[in-house]
Amino acid sequence: MSVLTVLREWGRIGCIGFGGPPTHIALLRELCVRRKRWLEPAEFEDAVAACNLLPGPASTQLSIFCAWRIRGPFGALVGGLAFIVPGLILILALAALFLTGTPPWWISAAGAGAGAAVPVVAVHAALGLLTPSWRRTSNSTSASASASASDQSRSTARPHRLRWIGYLIAGGVASALVGPWLVLVLLGCGAIELASRDRGGDRHQPMISPVLLLGQGTAAVAGLLAVAWVAIKVGALSYGGGFVIIPLMQADAVDHYHWMTGAQFLSAVALGQVTPGPVVHTVAVVGYAAAGLPGGILAAAVAFAPSFGFILLGASQFDRLRSDQRVRAFLDGAGPAAIGAILGSAIPLGRALTGPWQYALLAAAAILLFALRRGVVLTLLACAALAVLLGTLGVTVTG
């Protein structure tokens, strides 16, 4: 198979991949397993599981892995870029429209309307992760306990589950109250879970590099270095799915560096949801707000670089990664904390709403997502359309 085929097929997915990771995984499975038979079903499912063990955008890493498996390192680069770039171009164009000068009122209204739905979208995303995470906790407990000792299994399960609840609460509180330090909480929860299961002295080694990286990054200065630091947190230190990038970015972009207003950040999150490709594209809007087009490109490049590195350097070790109990233990701590962070992010996101009409749209979004079970993209577009309609009726709908 030629690299041009990778470019064409992965580019197609990058253009039509609306709806986030579930859509991306389904499209990659249809292409690589069912239609072209480039991968065996079991190999594809193992790759999905392994990518979910890595920090950063799992569906992006899966797209890079599939291209690597089919056409080697160069194919991985081509496929990954083809998957990322279409949505990146679109979201940067929209960022220029929303953030530069004075856009038409209906553009501002649409962004503010979609942004009004973002807090409930965050809650929806977190709730969708809660049950799988709890089940993984139960499975991990069963695997670590002796199969012949049911009393020991029960005694192991209770503290493990209590720790899971503690990690969830810690992530939520950190996201709501101390956003800039959220990464420390995620790493700390992972380290605590790793230490709680550790029996040997040298098993803390996997934690050394992330902690050193964090310590060096906190000294990042303003300007492009600050953009790069925010982006590296998004790309290399985020656990628990694409939406955990929201609390990681919000405190820096809005409160610390003042690159954006709260309303602009809500619009940025909405843009990341309604454009094709990975949700991590949102970081490009933050970079654009900080330093224009160079900042947007830099933020995207830094945020996605770890995904390419993880696959190009480690894809051949995926089997070992999945069976490494230390990796599993760390993620059993960081994962629930990340879910709590997504839940907690709804509080500062909600505080960014500016008018009664936005709270009305927030309630409408909750009905669409939870009562009517509509998709996230449809919900955001409906709220954007409602805001424009309200504006035509004379309601002031500025973000």
pLDDT in tens, 209-248: 343 333 333 433 457 889 998 999 888 877 766 678 888 8
| Tokens standing for residue 152 | 């020991």
Least Cα distance to 272 among 121, 51, 127, 106 occurs for 121
Q: What is the pTM of this model?
A: 0.80
Burial class (CB in 10 A: 0-12, 13-18, 19+), 310: buried
pLDDT of 295:
95
pLDDT of 104:
85
pLDDT of 178:
76
- How far is the C-alpha of 69 from the C-alpha of 49, rounded, in Å? 16
Ranges of the chain with pLDDT below 70: 138-157, 180, 199-222, 240-242, 398-399
Least Cα distance to 238 among 91, 92, 61, 116 occurs for 61
- How far is the C-alpha of 119 from the C-alpha of 353, rounded, in Å? 9
